[in-house]
Chain A
Amino acid sequence: MADDMLKSENLPQNPERATLEGRNKFMGFWFFLGGETVLFASLFGTYLALKNSNAQGPSAEEIFGLELVFIMTIVLLTSSLTSVYAMYHMKNNDFKKMQLWIGITVLLGLIFLGFEIYEFYHYVHGYEFGYTTSAFSSAFYTLVGFHGAHVAFGLGWFLSLMIRNSKRGINLYNAPKFYIASLYWHFIDVVWVFIFTVVYLMGKVG
């Protein structure tokens, strides 16, 4: 039976949920994302409480530029779509195409992260808006930084899955792993949608 787990032929329709281990992982990860939701909700709550507490430092309206953030949003939302393509090919047992689309997802994630690092750099050096400047700055960097750290973790996750499985195809053992990595990726994408709205749009307009 152990050999069956590693075979790539004749995979069932949903290889990520074909084994008990797979179903456990699938469900466990959904619950984990429930916990992550509370984590980000707490960070958002803190941010909302402190977003006007900029003390002597710059305010949200002064520093945020929507152009860059808009591009970042497009990049990250697109990466969610490409990860869906990857899962589509996983279900069709097309390993090469799956790897390709995960690769594109990782690339888009890297671009996003690069922009975010540039953005933080810009705030610190262009506006003297550091982590310790005000309660607002601490709340901002913590919320957006937590999201950025999640993106970085997701990239490492995708990369290690791609490298580990590059020499073998999709099987019942690794399909759940690919699948929950993509679930995670969707989750951080959704969190970004909220960050875009609550932090940037409300910061500019609210």
Chain B
Amino acid sequence: MSTTARKAGFGSVLWDYLTTVDHKKIAILYLIGGFFFFILGGLEAMLIRIQLIVPDNDFLSAQFYNEVLTMHGTTMIFLAAMPLLFALMNIAVPLQIGARDVAFPFVNSLGFWLFFFGGVMLNVSWFVTGAPDAGWTSYAPLSIFSEGHGVDFYSIGLQIAGFGTLMAGINFIVTIVNMRAPGMTYMRMPLFTWTTLIASVLILFAFPALTVGLFQLTFDRLFGANFFNPELGGNAIIWEHLFWIFGHPEVYILILPAFGVFSEVIPTFAKKRLFGYSSMVFATVLIAFFGFMVWAHHMFTVGLGPIANSIFAVATMAIAVPTGIKIFNWLFTLWGGSIRLTSPMVFALGFIPTFTIGGMTGVMLASAAADYQYHDSYFVVAHFHYVIVGGTVLGIFAGLIYWWPKMFGTLLNEKLNHWFFWLFFIGFHLTFFFQHFLGLMGMPRRYWVFGEGQGLDTFNFISTIGAFLMAVGTIVFVYNMVMTQVKGKKVSGDPWDARTLEWAIPSPPPFYNFKQLPLVRGLDPLWIEKTEGNGKMQPAEPLGDIHMPNNSFVPFVMSLGLFIAGFGVMFQGSYWFLAAIGFGLFFGSMIYRSFKDDLGYHIHKEDLEDEKGDGSNG
């Protein structure tokens, strides 16, 4: 059981990744999957912006524009942002709390493969009957009357991916609650671990609402149910409620882990303990709590009445308070720190003003009376891109660059990272800043053309130019990732001179993470050892056997089963046999899993003693 690199054939590497239950490899899978869909969603965004570069453009047909627009939103939220966050969580959280793996390695792998097959399912639609075309929100009754099978791919694909997300969420909650190293109390957990915990709780309580909504949509379209059909007593508003009861917590699921990333990056590169740690934790919990009580602010124009609108407006504005606490805490962490302008830090510094602008327009939108003016205009488009791109995406990139050494043992080229940042950042503001004004001038979202002589030409043109800059930036980053891996120059376990536990072990870590579980003596445990100890974590246990989980191919087969079954349910008739095969694979795998004991294996103490190094700072 040596960790020294051995040359392995392509087949064995592939099999290893198909069956892996190691959180570090699953992180890489999430990264590859998420980045692939990020590129795909980015291409769709480019098509949208090219269509809107001049008035009355006919680059795309109206129908194809609707499909591209729907898939851009769906892909970016469910198939790019969330998996990339899961990549960061998988690589960082078990290491940050001093665990050898997650609580449910098998479920972790299942979560990834469900996401993967759900994403593939959605995109297969391009080649079958056309992609979903009812917007990423797929409001009924539009989604009910959409022709072809596009929306069925949406509902079934998201259903599969959603199960995966739910599994991943439960796994992280239990991991963080049960698997912390000795001394790692809740109030010593790094902020990224905290935000992962809270985001996972949000996933747990938000996704089932989407599950039900998607089932209802599927049943209405494929089995003649009448949930959203007013002729037989149905009510289309039910979809909006269920979608946003899920959808609003979803935006906090996206942003809280990004907050966590910045709360790791800023103290590391300001060389200061995070200012107001406990208020950061409190603010995170408070945001999550409020997150469940504001869903109807997406529905101000539905006509819920002034009382409901006022309550939801006030609750929404209240969220600005804990978010403001966070912004000030980051600023105070920077205050007086010895700042290193590394690329993750530059992303963090770019994030603070950008997100603040997005938060400000959020408060504007929260005002129910004013929202009648903004609703479904480009103002809304600008707002949510400011928070999602300016918050989540910048956070993902900061985290990716920051934890890249932990994932691959190499360091991305800093110069190219800075190029990437500036291209992306300037491009982003060019694209979306002017969309605020387009919205206020009355340009509605989701229209495939705008007319000439309405004064919308210039800002749309600038917006498209900005989108190209973002694309160039992303290409630089992809080039950087590839070249870094080709060169493969190894770095130490702690290239950033950082503060938390994951940096106490080599990069990439051995497959068992910690030879001996570390003893945590406070917040920023590695920093404590650096300043008060000998710079190495002290072990909390004597060297002993380590229990490890077995690899398994079952998660792949289960997810494949649901994927196949989805087609059977969708096309019905003579395709029902696909559903039989698919569900057979799914439930058969569960029975197999139930009947075959999976006890894992042990790495013996003697083998560990042979290993070089002491499991601490490489």
Task: List the interface of chain A (C-beta within 8 A of B).
Answer: 1-2, 5-6, 20, 23-24, 27-28, 31-32, 34-36, 38-39, 42-43, 45-46, 49-50, 53-55, 57, 131-139, 142, 156-157, 160-161, 164, 173, 177
Known: A39-B212, A53-B235, A55-B233. A138 touches B219 (CB 8 A): yes
- Is B350 positioned at the interface, with any CB of A under 8 Å from its CB? no
Chain B residues lying within 8 Å of A54, measured Cβ to Cβ, are 233
Known: A1-B547, A42-B208, A161-B594. A135 touches B226 (CB 8 A): yes
Chain A residues lying within 8 Å of B213, measured Cβ to Cβ, are 42
Interface centre among B173, B213, B225 (most CB of A within 10 A): B225
Q: Quick check: B208 and A36 within 8 Å, CB to CB?
A: yes
Known: A20-B178, A42-B212. A28 touches B104 (CB 8 A): yes
Chain A residues lying within 8 Å of B231, measured Cβ to Cβ, are 55
Contact size class for B? 35 or more
Question: B208: which of A23, A38, A50, A57 is its contact (CB, 8 Å)?
Answer: A38
Q: Quick check: B174 and A24 within 8 Å, CB to CB?
A: yes
Q: Quick check: B204 and A173 within 8 Å, CB to CB?
A: no
Interface centre among A42, A54, A57 (most CB of B within 10 A): A42
- Is B591 positioned at the interface, with any CB of A under 8 Å from its CB? yes
- Is B332 positioned at the interface, with any CB of A under 8 Å from its CB? no
- Is B215 positioned at the interface, with any CB of A under 8 Å from its CB? yes
Closest 6 CB pairs of A and B: A53-B233, A135-B233, A138-B225, A42-B212, A39-B208, A132-B224
A-B contact pairs, 21 of them (CB 8 A): A24-B103, A24-B104, A27-B174, A27-B178, A28-B104, A28-B170, A34-B205, A35-B204, A42-B211, A42-B212, A42-B213, A50-B234, A53-B234, A55-B231, A131-B223, A134-B233, A137-B226, A138-B219, A139-B227, A156-B587, A160-B594
Q: Quick check: A132 and B225 within 8 Å, CB to CB?
A: yes
- Is B610 positioned at the interface, with any CB of A under 8 Å from its CB? no
- Rounded to whole angstroms, the CA-CA distance of A42 and B242 in the bound complex is 7
CB under 8 Å from chain A, chain B span 235-265:
235, 238, 241-242, 245
Chain A residues lying within 8 Å of B104, measured Cβ to Cβ, are 24, 28
Cβ distance B546 to chain A, nearest Cβ, rounded Å: 11
- Is B216 positioned at the interface, with any CB of A under 8 Å from its CB? yes
- Is B452 positioned at the interface, with any CB of A under 8 Å from its CB? no
Cβ distance A106 to chain B, nearest Cβ, rounded Å: 15
Cβ distance B509 to chain A, nearest Cβ, rounded Å: 20
Q: Quick check: B219 and A49 within 8 Å, CB to CB?
A: no
Known: A50-B233, A53-B233, A142-B225. A28 touches B238 (CB 8 A): no
Cβ distance B19 to chain A, nearest Cβ, rounded Å: 20
Known: A5-B599, A28-B174, A142-B219. A135 touches B235 (CB 8 A): yes
- Rounded to whole angstroms, the CA-CA distance of A38 and B206 in the bound complex is 8
Interface centre among A53, A131, A136, A177 (most CB of B within 10 A): A53
Cβ distance B176 to chain A, nearest Cβ, rounded Å: 11
Q: Quick check: B209 and A42 within 8 Å, CB to CB?
A: yes
Cβ distance B592 to chain A, nearest Cβ, rounded Å: 10
Chain B residues lying within 8 Å of A32, measured Cβ to Cβ, are 170
- Rounded to whole angstroms, the CA-CA distance of A31 and B204 in the bound complex is 8
Chain A residues lying within 8 Å of B242, measured Cβ to Cβ, are 42, 45-46
Q: Quick check: A38 and B597 within 8 Å, CB to CB?
A: no
CB nearest neighbor in A for B600:
A2
CB nearest neighbor in B for A161:
B594
Q: Quick check: A42 and B235 within 8 Å, CB to CB?
A: no
Q: Quick check: B233 and A35 within 8 Å, CB to CB?
A: no
- Is B370 positioned at the interface, with any CB of A under 8 Å from its CB? no
CB nearest neighbor in B for A177:
B594
Q: Quick check: A138 and B597 within 8 Å, CB to CB?
A: no
- Rounded to whole angstroms, the CA-CA distance of A15 and B242 in the bound complex is 40
Chain A residues lying within 8 Å of B170, measured Cβ to Cβ, are 28, 31-32, 35
Known: A24-B103, A24-B178. A50 touches B227 (CB 8 A): yes
Q: Quick check: B602 and A2 within 8 Å, CB to CB?
A: yes
Q: Quick check: B173 and A31 within 8 Å, CB to CB?
A: yes
Q: Quick check: A135 and B232 within 8 Å, CB to CB?
A: yes
Q: Quick check: A49 and B226 within 8 Å, CB to CB?
A: no
- Rounded to whole angstroms, the CA-CA distance of A38 and B249 in the bound complex is 13
- A6-B599, A35-B204, A50-B233 known; 18 new pairs, CB 8 Å cut-off, are A24-B178, A27-B174, A28-B170, A28-B173, A32-B170, A35-B208, A39-B211, A42-B211, A49-B235, A50-B227, A50-B238, A53-B232, A53-B235, A134-B232, A134-B233, A142-B215, A157-B594, A173-B597
Chain A residues lying within 8 Å of B597, measured Cβ to Cβ, are 6, 173
